[in-house]
Amino acid sequence: KQFGTSILMITHDLGVIAETASRVVVMYAGEVVEEAPVHRLFSSPHHPYTQGLMAAMPQLASERDRLNVIPGTVPAPDNWPKGCRFHDRCPFAWDRTEHEHPPLYQVGEGHTSRCHLVEEPDRRNHPHEPFVVNKNTGTFAVVR
């Protein structure tokens, strides 16, 4: 800020982001799925992909031997799905997510999410796959 410049960091290391960034843009399958100030993203992640990333972070105090994972694979760039690009991997997906590409919704001040759950938040209460919630972060990981 002191010099009026910005730095673009591309990383999967969320710890580095938490320590160095002021804003975070999360991308999945070639598009922005969430953008927020760093403190807001880490305290209130909205998009299921962002939540899955955070749940997959290793925890020093964890008794689990295995890391949480986001099941499935990223779609091929030459075959993007018509709807949400994350719907095949999302425990909250439904018909709309398969057929309708979500816009970036405003979910808070300076916080956007490309997820239809903004308009239908009750669907978070009825996942179609079993998952565990990290009580410290509120993020999820699918159990397989």
Question: pLDDT 10s per residue in the chain (144 long)?
Answer: 678 888 888 988 888 898 989 999 999 999 999 999 999 999 999 999 999 888 877 766 656 667 777 888 999 999 999 999 999 999 889 999 999 999 999 999 999 999 999 998 888 776 665 555 555 555 555 554
Tally of domains in the chain: 1
Q: Is residue 7 part of a domain?
A: no
**What H or E segment, with its residue span, contains residue 35?**
strand 31-37
- Tell me the residue range of the domain where 18 lies: 14-142
Q: Rounded distance, CA 117 to CA 137, Å?
A: 19
* DSSP conformational letter for 135: T
Residue 137 belongs to domain with CATH number: 3.40.50.300
CB of 85 within 8 A of CB of 31?
yes
